Structure 1
Amino acid sequence: MNVKLQQSTINNQQSLIRITGSKSETNRLLLLQALHPNLVLENTSNSDDSVLMLKAIQKPTTDNRQQTTVIDIHHAGTAMRFLTAYFAIQVGKEVILTGSSRMKERPIKILVEALQQLGAEISYEENEGFPPIRIKGKKITQNKVALPANVSSQYISALLLIAPKLEKGLELTLEGEITSIPYIKMTLALLNEIGVETSFIQNQITVKPLHTINSQLLTIESDWSSASYWYSIIALSPIGTQITLSSYKQNSLQGDASLVEIYKSFGVETFFKGNSIVLHKINNLKPDTLNLKLNNSPDIAQTIAVTCFGLGLGCNLTGLHTLKIKETDRLEALKTELTKLGAKVLVTNDSLILENSISINENIAISTYQDHRMAMAFAPLAIKTSIIIEEAEVVSKSYPTFWEDLEKFGFQISK
């Protein structure tokens, strides 16, 4: 399904948009809940990724090795990483974990080798280093492992989440400069919240074993990555435009909460009121070029790049090496689609440089590459020009009600 967004004049009034729980927090807590059934979760994400994660955990497996359970997580990269670790410790269970054609191109070798160092039994069904993988769950007694520090934080979090269930816990050494520290800290904070003792000193992470926990209710904060598109919308709107989003915390565990500071450069102020935030366009002041290092929040790079283009700004975004192995090569995808719109863009393995621009080409069809963030990052440009988003249904991966919420705010959308 393609959608066309006519150049839209946004309702210059305060609206309330309710965004469901963080996909990052939800998927971590779903795994912890599977390992510790006393946990009760509130405000879970309604994203495809979280739904797939829950279905995979709940899918019946068999102790009969002649009837291996096949679990297909489609495009859900987080689920692939977390479930690899989860099923590795399900004693006596055997599964094949697979996904979409793109998922079969996304590397899993570093995590598999780390689990194998600990004693896990995992093998490849097709190509070495990539899904699908066969996992034979067993009791793991080793507790020391090392990983390159610049890998996806999801590999690291996958190991940390199962660590309390390991006989001796886990001592994890990260070698080199660490990427996406906020996501690692999020995982450790959630472990602490359910009573697990952890430490993170320099490049050494320790997680103590905790085999039983007390019953607890955990409320998940709404997703800051989903909020990023509203920051872009307000930045591209006239002075005075505002919107209220719920439910958010000032002391968020999510790295993408850096939006609060970043979007001040575009004249957007954030006001915390109770469990909501109010985004308010207060001025049109903006730098000629925005320089940002996004190691800790790479998921908002697409949104920021498109915001800059829509405002005629240049930007130099670095720390983006993990974007090469997402749902698509997000750096190349950004370059291709922004160029269609009239931008001049240069990308490297870990950076994007956008030149200042003075015009935007109209009625351009944006390819989304089966990547939800491509669809949502480009949609706010409808404030400046009419635009077409191809495969628009892909937003369900993380924000299923995205198009309906845009219409509530005044966007003119046709299928």
Structure 2
Amino acid sequence: MDILLNVLEDKKIHQEITISGSKSESNRLLILQKLFPEISIENLSDSDDSVHMQHALSTQDELVDIGHAGTAMRFLTSYFAVQENRETVLTGSERMQNRPIEILVNALKDLGANITYEAKEGYPPIRIIGKKLIKDKAQINGNVSSQYISSLLLIASKLEKGLEIELIGKITSVPYIKMTLSLLTQLGIDNKFEGNFITVYPKKSIHKQTVVVESDWSSASYFYSIIALSEIGSEIQLTAYKKESLQGDSCLAEIYNHFGVETTFNQNSITLKKIKRSNTSSLDIDLKNAPDIAQTIAVTCFAERISCNLTGLHTLKIKETDRLVALHDELTKLGASIKVSDESLHLEVSTKINANVSIKTYNDHRMAMAFAPLALRVPIQILDAEVVTKSYQKFWDDMHQLGIKIDNI
């Protein structure tokens, strides 16, 4: 499905939007719920990734296909490794079969796991023969995707002696590691994170409890961008959010101050209001703890004629697409002057936005959603727009609610 987004006639917005639960929290909790049936979950994400995760955890089939769901691939690798007497072939889409898994597989093998590659060495599909893991110490580089580390942490309390992980070198994506540990703490599973060592202690069972998933901050980023591009006085209320968030992307509230977006924290929601923007002409932001919002920020800067230097983006090259190359190519079509490296993006101030440009999405939900706010500036075409369901089922419905006209092309 390709769509055309037309410019809002009324740039002053007043709306209330309810956003599904965090995909990151939901997928962690779904694994933990399978290990500890005492857990009940509310406000679960309705994303494709979480749907794939639920199906994978409920099926008894040997072949488990998780499509484009990266978190499911990483988390399920460890989960199936400890399912004694079960053999599983874990696979995914063509892109997933070109996203590396070797670092996690090697760490699990060091713990005694039985995992082999079905095709290309170091990549899915993988064959996992579940067994009891006896060893309690693992090493993994600290600058890899935090999902590898969280995958190990999620099964750690079910190992006989628990697990101590040594993170080698510089540690990135710390908020996502802390999110996992905070959820363990919330469930009553003891752990500690000191220096480069993380320890999770064994736990046979937990008290019966209900966990309410906070709404997804990554999804909130698109509304921050929309308010940034709207008229002064515009407001959007988003539910359900809390000030003391486990999600690294909650740094949006501080970052978007530069764009004149004021965040007010209410009981179970946030209100985004457009106020007069400061005279910021250039931004320098290290996003190593929140790389998923890089696309949104880059597009906002382009639309607001602000130059930016975004760093800490090395993990974007192994996402649904190489997001840095994708951003370079699509922003260039719109008229941007942009340079990217393996871990950074530099955008110059642009004086013009080309209208009616077709934005390729590369099977990447965030490409579609990050570029959508440009409809407040020029008509824009989004190709393969249905890709948004990976993380945000009703995204286009919510865009329509804001007053953006959406036509199929």
TM tier relative to shorter chain: over 0.9
1:65 is matched with none
Aligned counterpart for 2:113 among listed residues 120, 135, 143: 120
- Specify the SS of the correspondent of 1:307: helix
Aligned counterpart for 2:361 among listed residues 353, 357, 368: 368
What aligned pairs does 1:39-58 form with structure 2 within 5 A after superposition? Answer: 39-58=39-58
Please tell me whether the aligned partners of residues 11 and 376 of structure 2 are also in contact (alpha carbons under 8 angstroms). no
Letter in 1 for 2:111: L
What aligned pairs does 1:143-182 form with structure 2 within 5 A after superposition? Answer: 143-182=136-175
Q: After TM superposition, give the deviation of residue 173 of structure 1 in Å.
A: 0.2
2:224 is matched with 231
Over residues 119-170 of structure 1, what are the superposed CA-to-partner deviations in whole Å (9 max), with x where a residue is unaligned? 0000000000000000000000100010011000000000000000000000
Please tell me whether the aligned partners of residues 13 and 230 of structure 2 are also in contact (alpha carbons under 8 angstroms). no
Give the whole-Å Cα distance in 1 for the aligned partners of 2:189 and 2:152.
Answer: 14
Please tell me whether the aligned partners of residues 10 and 383 of structure 1 are also in contact (alpha carbons under 8 angstroms). no
2:385 is matched with 392
Give the whole-Å Cα distance in 2 for the aligned partners of 1:321 and 1:300.
Answer: 13
Over residues 308-328 of structure 1, what are the superposed CA-to-partner deviations in whole Å (9 max), with x where a residue is unaligned? 000011100000000000000
Give the whole-Å Cα distance in 1 for the aligned partners of 2:219 and 2:35.
Answer: 28
Q: After TM superposition, give the deviation of residue 288 of structure 1 in Å.
A: 1.1
Give the whole-Å Cα distance in 1 for the aligned partners of 2:90 and 2:7.
Answer: 43
User: Is 1:289 aligned to 2:289, yes or no?
Assistant: no
Q: After TM superposition, give the deviation of residue 7 of structure 1 in Å.
A: 1.4
1:64 is matched with none
Give the whole-Å Cα distance in 1 for the aligned partners of 2:384 and 2:401.
Answer: 21
Q: After TM superposition, give the deviation of residue 284 of structure 1 in Å.
A: 2.8
Quick check: 333-342 or 14-23, which moved more?
14-23
2:128 is matched with 135
What aligned pairs does 1:2-401 form with structure 2 within 5 A after superposition? Answer: 2-10=2-10, 12-61=12-61, 69-401=62-394
Letter in 2 for 1:149: G
Give the whole-Å Cα distance in 1 for the aligned partners of 2:147 and 2:279.
Answer: 34
Q: Percent of counterpart pairs with the same letter?
A: 59
TM-score (normalizing by structure 1)? 0.98
Please tell me whether the aligned partners of residues 11 and 409 of structure 1 are also in contact (alpha carbons under 8 angstroms). no
Give the whole-Å Cα distance in 1 for the aligned partners of 2:211 and 2:267.
Answer: 18
Give the whole-Å Cα distance in 2 for the aligned partners of 1:27 and 1:45.
Answer: 8
TM-score (normalizing by structure 2)? 0.99
Please tell me whether the aligned partners of residues 39 and 217 of structure 1 are also in contact (alpha carbons under 8 angstroms). yes
Give the whole-Å Cα distance in 2 for the aligned partners of 1:141 and 1:60.
Answer: 25
Please tell me whether the aligned partners of residues 314 and 356 of structure 1 are also in contact (alpha carbons under 8 angstroms). yes
Over residues 335-387 of structure 1, what are the superposed CA-to-partner deviations in whole Å (9 max), with x where a residue is unaligned? 00000000010000000000001110010000000000000000000000000
- Specify the SS of the correspondent of 1:83: helix
Please tell me whether the aligned partners of residues 93 and 136 of structure 1 are also in contact (alpha carbons under 8 angstroms). yes
Give the whole-Å Cα distance in 2 for the aligned partners of 1:286 and 1:316.
Answer: 17
Give the whole-Å Cα distance in 2 for the aligned partners of 1:265 and 1:286.
Answer: 9
Give the whole-Å Cα distance in 2 for the aligned partners of 1:156 and 1:134.
Answer: 20
Q: After TM superposition, give the deviation of residue 273 of structure 1 in Å.
A: 1.2
Please tell me whether the aligned partners of residues 10 and 409 of structure 1 are also in contact (alpha carbons under 8 angstroms). no
Q: After TM superposition, give the deviation of residue 287 of structure 1 in Å.
A: 1.3
Q: After TM superposition, give the deviation of residue 211 of structure 1 in Å.
A: 1.3
Q: 1:13 to 1:318 in 2, by over 3 A?
A: closer
Give the whole-Å Cα distance in 2 for the aligned partners of 1:145 and 1:12.
Answer: 53
Gaps of 5+ in 2: none
Gaps of 5+ in 1: 62-68
Give the whole-Å Cα distance in 2 for the aligned partners of 1:261 and 1:410.
Answer: 27
- Specify the SS of the correspondent of 1:97: strand
Q: After TM superposition, give the deviation of residue 8 of structure 1 in Å.
A: 1.4
Q: After TM superposition, give the deviation of residue 60 of structure 1 in Å.
A: 1.6
Structure 1: which 4+ aligned runs deviate by more than 2 Å? 9-14
Give the whole-Å Cα distance in 2 for the aligned partners of 1:275 and 1:8.
Answer: 29
Q: After TM superposition, give the deviation of residue 286 of structure 1 in Å.
A: 4.0
Q: After TM superposition, give the deviation of residue 12 of structure 1 in Å.
A: 2.5
Q: 1:39 to 1:16 in 2, by over 3 A?
A: same
Give the whole-Å Cα distance in 1 for the aligned partners of 2:242 and 2:19.
Answer: 13
- Specify the SS of the correspondent of 1:15: strand
Over residues 168-209 of structure 1, what are the superposed CA-to-partner deviations in whole Å (9 max), with x where a residue is unaligned? 000000001101000000000000011100000010000000
Letter in 2 for 1:326: K
Q: After TM superposition, give the deviation of residue 10 of structure 1 in Å.
A: 4.2
- Specify the SS of the correspondent of 1:168: coil
Give the whole-Å Cα distance in 1 for the aligned partners of 2:38 and 2:195.
Answer: 33
Please tell me whether the aligned partners of residues 34 and 57 of structure 2 are also in contact (alpha carbons under 8 angstroms). yes
Letter in 1 for 2:181: L
Give the whole-Å Cα distance in 2 for the aligned partners of 1:368 and 1:312.
Answer: 23
- Specify the SS of the correspondent of 2:17: strand
- Specify the SS of the correspondent of 1:165: coil
Kindly tell me the number of residue pairs found equivalent between the two proteins.
408
Give the whole-Å Cα distance in 2 for the aligned partners of 1:3 and 1:18.
Answer: 23
Please tell me whether the aligned partners of residues 239 and 284 of structure 1 are also in contact (alpha carbons under 8 angstroms). no
Letter in 2 for 1:117: D
